[in-house]
Amino acid sequence: MISSRHSLAVILALATIVASPAAAGDFAAPTGEVLLTIKGDIAARNAGDTLQLDQAQLAALPQSSFTTSTIWTSGTPTFSGVLLKDLVAAIGAKGETITLSAANDYTIKMPMSAVADDAPLLAFLMDGKPMSLREKGPVWMVYPYDANESYRSEETYSRSIWQLTTIEFGE
């Protein structure tokens, strides 16, 4: 017979497990349109050797936003999405190099060491609305250009990849 004290301990242990954040690898298959495919040295997978994320899954990750002007837009839009550092942590990504590719085959490589606490942001909302391909979406990697002068450089502008579809982590 199980004592009530033992039952309470089991219930508390189960509640702790259920309330714990998902471990890298606990991503269900996307139910919406796939916005981002991630491959390479990652712990989380839901489609063969890749991780595919739809908007709801991106929105379930830690969210950040900032308002900044860009050299490609007028005014100062507010961009919302997941910081690349938070995505790296959530999916258990490793490696020295990140390769990012756009729908139009534009590809950039950057060192993992270039991932900062405040940027880049994988934005999937601009002024609270999803971005179409025509509006540089559905995912645009942006930086808080106005907040940090070092982000107003040719190197950072070249890394501000829009229509982002694929990220690969590796050496």
Tokens of 150: 């070092």
Give the pTM.
0.85
List the CATH code of the domain at 24-170. 3.90.420.10
Nearest to 145 by CA among 73, 97, 59, 89: 73
> For the chain, what is the radius of gyration of the CA atoms?
19
Each residue of 58-86: pLDDT tens digit?
999 999 999 999 999 999 999 999 999 99
pLDDT at 157: 98
pLDDT, one tens digit per residue, over 82-134 is: 999 999 999 999 999 999 999 999 999 999 999 999 999 999 999 999 999 99
Name the residue ranges covered by the structural domains of the chain: 24-170
Mean pLDDT, rounded, of the chain: 89
Beta partners for residue 111, in sequence order = 97
